[in-house]
Structure 1
């Protein structure tokens, strides 16, 4: 069994953030749901895919924003940035669903890149905690890789390839966020015990 760090040695704000494990769980479930929709209905029109993704990004951004505002310490700015980026990208997709596929993919790519960088920074700052940082860091790395692939190299041939890329990313990201939430919940239980 792993030896747990003394509470005084934990990074500041982790106990407060662990109380908000439900926000990460919801983000994970929403991501998996979007990913499943993208695989189940890959023949959605591009406008429909943009609207579904836009709704997901707004909801995810809102929960990240609430999580960041409710957190303690100076590290909450990362989730505020992730939340604002998600809301802006989602609203852009919702209000302009007829944008070209390249513009849509650029929005998704830059959103994934910014969210991933913020999650990697978060994981590095909380690396001493044995609660969840490696999962957040791994999901951040996944986001950065997908963001870079989209922004630099991805020129899709059709809606199905967009749906599969977005769906696969969302499912993997959602699973990692759900696992991070579960670890934070276990950490919260240890704190209250």
Structure 2
């Protein structure tokens, strides 16, 4: 089983992940003045859910997918981000800007790597490359603009989540077509 088959078989996991990102983004747009604690819970929940799904896909494909470790690394990074958000909210509030930036850069790098590996197997991997690049650019923007403030960060996260989620939903639907044709 190759990476394309693994992802096509689990297209619904990517679809759900994308929908959750879109919902998170829309909720953040609609309630920017909401408690930061509540927003941290949303982020922690998304990071944990994302990490669990990524880890599950990696674990289920480890016998047949030589790149399963890269999927696992993305899952572990998201789980760690979720746990830190839940267990140290005061620290997270102070460091949220850098924290989200590091997460976005790391996840983006993993997605770019996975997309480059997919390049030999399918066409349209550019969607995942764009998603990865968007994550890296978003993370670097936050690192180099720390004075943007928490409200600006919330709006940026909302925009990022909606765009990221939309791209992942589109990619998952492409994988669904692949899974039905195999």
TM-score by length of 2: 0.92
Q: Secondary structure at the match of 1:43?
A: coil
> Deviation per CA, 1:97-133, whole angstroms, max 9, x where unpaired?
2226441121111111110000001111111333552
Hey, what does 1:42 align to over in structure 2?
Answer: 32
Q: Is the 8 A contact 1:108 1:147 kept in 2?
A: yes
Counterpart check, 1:31 vs 2:10: no
Q: Secondary structure at the match of 1:119?
A: helix
* RMSD over aligned Cα atoms: 1.7
List aligned pairs for 1:104-183, cutoff 5 A.
104-130=96-122, 132-157=124-149, 159-183=150-174
Distance in 2 between residues matched to 1:100 and 1:91, nearest whole Å? 11
**Larger Cα Rg: Structure 1 or Structure 2?**
1
Counterpart check, 1:56 vs 2:46: yes
Larger relative helix fraction: 2
> Which of the residues 80, 86, 99 maps onto 1:88?
80
Distance in 1 between residues matched to 2:80 and 2:92, nearest whole Å? 18
Q: Is the 8 A contact 1:132 1:181 kept in 2?
A: no
List alignment gaps of at least 5 residues for structure 1.
1-10
Query: How far apart are 1:154 and its partner, in Å?
Result: 3.0
Segments ≥4 residues shifted beyond 4 Å: none
Distance in 2 between residues matched to 1:183 and 1:102, nearest whole Å? 39
TM-score by length of 1: 0.87
Q: Secondary structure at the match of 2:148?
A: coil
Counterpart check, 1:22 vs 2:12: yes
Query: How many residues matched?
Result: 180
Q: Is the 8 A contact 1:38 1:164 kept in 2?
A: yes
Q: Secondary structure at the match of 1:155?
A: helix
Hey, what does 1:188 align to over in structure 2?
Answer: 179
List alignment gaps of at least 5 residues for structure 2.
none
